[in-house]
Amino acid sequence: MTERLGIVVSASLEGGVVVRLEPGVSVEEMVVGRYVAIQGQRHRFFGMITDVRLEMTDERLASAPPEAGEPLLASVVSGVNTYGIIRVTPMLTIGGDAVTILEGPQPVKTIPAHFSPVELASERDMELVFGQENERNFHIGNPLDMETKLCLNLEEFVKRSNGIFGKSGTGKTFLTRILLIGMLQKSRAVNLIFDMHNEYGWQGTNEAGPPVKGLKQLFPAAVAVYTLDEENSVRRGVKVDSVVKIGYDEIEPDDIALLRQTLNLTELAVEASYQLRRRFGRQWIQRTLELEDAEEVRGLLEETKIHESTFQSLRRGLNTIRRLPFITSHAAEDIVPKILAHLDRGVNVVLEFGRYREIAAYVLVANMLARRIYAHYQAQTEKAMAEGSSPPRPLVITIEEAHRFLNPEIAAQTIFGTIAREMRKYNVTLLVIDQRPSGISEEVMSQLGTKITCLLDNERDIDSVLAGVSGKSELKTVLARLAPKRQALIFGHAVPMPVAFQPVSYDADFYARLAGRKAAGKTEDLEKFW
């Protein structure tokens, strides 16, 4: 039987429910973020503890408390003259009437009556709210201080763009791997992962021990690994499906505009790139870099009305790009059709950057490839709508260092800003990963359906993540009390209410559970599923 914690002594829709703890209940066991159930007269309320405090009936006890050597006196007044209080924010009603029984948990629109009993949420309560692990729901962890499984419906999750946030070292990468595996198993979506730090393909790093398995080791038939750095892949023992080379003729002025700050370009230099693209066509970068004759340069500048200092600024930026080893005058093979072929077959693609972790390389390649792949999805979706046929398989694009693509100055110019704003219009969504959410455009942040945040210690970052969320002040308290590692808060479209949780351990037991599912021949068996 579930332990009774106390009774309701005060409540309001705006301020939450105040619960006086029973004399035998230790206030030290009441943890912010824990879940409780309140049995009202007509409804069962499900909520989260958001504050804990001590109270006393006689203020004189504060000035003359029992001595340390008088434990008997302290125990006599405890629970009578002194007692614990918890504040609960009710979020859902579960069971108790026909609507909630037929349609599931409903948002709270009222409050429980005086003296309604309060208890810790049971496993049954948690299952009613978050569902059971099955062919659609994926076990991502456990609510804090509870053994109950927290399950996430990944089909709902991928219907919108989502974000994973947290300061460095809090476990964002491990959490991302878990979600990617869940999407790979439980949703129809396929993933394109721009892997800046080589963490998701073959194997990833682990501060606490040996390397951990990546997606390719766990699901070899369902994952293809591409690389920009073949030498690095060979040294790490990674067998890749293809090596990516980028030709000058594949780079557009929009890509250069995105790199304005990184390449230290002026706005006039960016504008000049558009003029040169119109003048030289697809070969505009190579032609610009090959210009050496002073007379020829002078003639071009007079024709295009570009100032010489602006032209030289642009050339310096383009030379920085030219020095990237994977950039060539003309790529022998167009890699985009190969990537699209994998995605169309339901094979997830991880693009590793090897040693090329400069932000210029990452932003250039991710934006350029995503723009072309998105154009393909747009065309395929519009064709399917016109013909009444099936649209392309949903695509989730995963990007790290998201504020580099989605900051307020350039979000409107990038393909990633477009995808976030269109909210899966063409069956493409984002999974953005960042440690500086305050650097992301407010408009983009407002379009993210589900947010998962590990510990953040910057006030602006916390405000950015929680902007527009109901009960922001209470969630701020929960977020501030997360452990430095392996704890997170999830809220938004894919979950019925915010949950503070500890992600599942990404270790040998996790691998074994995945292998066991495949061996059992269930729907998680990827060889059958794909």
146 is a domain residue: no
* 300 plus 230 within the same structural domain: no
User: What does R_g of the chain's alpha carbons equal in angstroms?
Assistant: 28
Q: How far, in Å, CA of 433 to CA of 312, rounded?
A: 35
Which segments of 250-339 are extended strands (E)?
A: 327-328
Residue 319: strand pairing partners: none
Residue of higher predicted confidence among 226 and 468 = 226
Q: pLDDT digit string (tens) for 241-287?
A: 999 999 988 999 988 988 888 888 999 999 999 999 999 999 999 99
Q: How far, in Å, CA of 73 to CA of 119, rounded?
A: 28
Residues 428/420, Cβ–Cβ less than 8 Å: no
* 159 plus 271 within the same structural domain: no
* 115 plus 26 within the same structural domain: yes
Question: What is the model's pLDDT at position 73?
Answer: 47
* 273 plus 339 within the same structural domain: no
Q: How many CB atoms lie within 10 A of CB 293?
A: 10
Q: Could you write out the DSSP letters of every residue in 389-416?
A: -PPPPPEEEEESSTHHHHSTTTTTTSHH
* 263 plus 232 within the same structural domain: no
Grouping H, G, I as helix, E, B as strand and the rest as coil, residue 262 is coil
81 is a domain residue: yes
* 349 plus 318 within the same structural domain: no
**CATH code of residue 361:** 3.40.50.300
Q: How far, in Å, CA of 458 to CA of 170, rounded?
A: 14
Which of residues 270, 296, 322 is at a domain's end? 322
Structure-token pair, residue 399:
């990007």
- Tallying the residues shown for the chain, one arrives at 530
Residues 428/417, Cβ–Cβ less than 8 Å: no
DSSP state of 113: P
143 is a domain residue: no
Grouping H, G, I as helix, E, B as strand and the rest as coil, residue 296 is helix
Q: How many CB atoms lie within 10 A of CB 296?
A: 11
327 is a domain residue: no
* 498 plus 350 within the same structural domain: yes
Q: pLDDT digit string (tens) for 63-96?
A: 666 665 555 445 555 656 788 999 999 999 987 6
Q: pLDDT digit string (tens) for 13-47?
A: 988 999 999 988 888 889 888 899 999 998 899 99
Which of residues 279, 298, 322 is at a domain's end? 322
* 228 plus 254 within the same structural domain: no
Structure-token pair, residue 485:
């590692």
Element spanning 11, H or E: strand 4-12
Helices 459-466/472-480 angle, 10° precision: 130
Q: pLDDT digit string (tens) for 397-408?
A: 999 999 988 988
Q: pLDDT digit string (tens) for 324-350?
A: 999 988 888 889 999 999 999 999 999
Q: How far, in Å, CA of 151 to CA of 138, rounded?
A: 5
Residue of higher predicted confidence among 100 and 507 = 507
36 is a domain residue: yes
142 is a domain residue: no
Question: What is the model's pLDDT at position 31?
Answer: 86
pLDDT value at 214 more than 70:
yes
pLDDT value at 58 more than 90:
no
* 405 plus 520 within the same structural domain: yes
Mean pLDDT in the chain? 87
Q: Which amino acid would we find at residue 282?
A: R
* 193 plus 284 within the same structural domain: no
Q: pLDDT digit string (tens) for 305-331?
A: 999 999 999 999 999 998 999 998 888
pLDDT value at 220 more than 90:
yes
Confidence label for 525 from pLDDT (cuts 50, 70 and 90): very low
Please choose, from the candidates 115, 111, 134, 132, the residue with its C-alpha nearest in 3D space to the C-alpha of residue 123.
132
pLDDT above 90 as % of the chain? 51
Q: How many domains does the chain have?
A: 3
pLDDT value at 218 more than 60:
yes
Confidence label for 62 from pLDDT (cuts 50, 70 and 90): low
For tokens 């190969």, what's the residue? 338
Grouping H, G, I as helix, E, B as strand and the rest as coil, residue 333 is coil
Average pLDDT for 471-487 = 88
Question: What is the model's pLDDT at position 470?
Answer: 82
Q: How far, in Å, CA of 207 to CA of 132, rounded?
A: 32
Please choose, from the candidates 167, 174, 230, the residue with its C-alpha nearest in 3D space to the C-alpha of residue 200.
174
Strands 212-213 and 428-434 come out as unpaired
* 368 plus 262 within the same structural domain: no
Average pLDDT for 390-394 = 91
Strands 44-56 and 82-93 come out as antiparallel
Which of residues 64, 98, 130 is at a domain's end? 130
294 is a domain residue: yes
Which segments of 196-320 are extended strands (E)?
A: 203-204, 212-213, 223-227, 242-243, 246-247
228 is a domain residue: yes
Look up the domain containing 12 and give its range: 4-130
Name 222's Cβ contacts closer than 8 Å, sequence gap at least 6: 184, 215, 346, 347, 348, 526, 530
Q: Which amino acid would we find at residue 384?
A: A
Q: How far, in Å, CA of 500 to CA of 150, rounded?
A: 10
* 278 plus 231 within the same structural domain: no
Confidence label for 219 from pLDDT (cuts 50, 70 and 90): very high
pLDDT value at 297 more than 90:
no
Structure-token pair, residue 60:
């004189």
Q: pLDDT digit string (tens) for 405-445?
A: 898 888 887 899 999 988 788 999 999 999 999 999 999 99
Helices (H), 66-139: 71-77, 98-103, 123-130
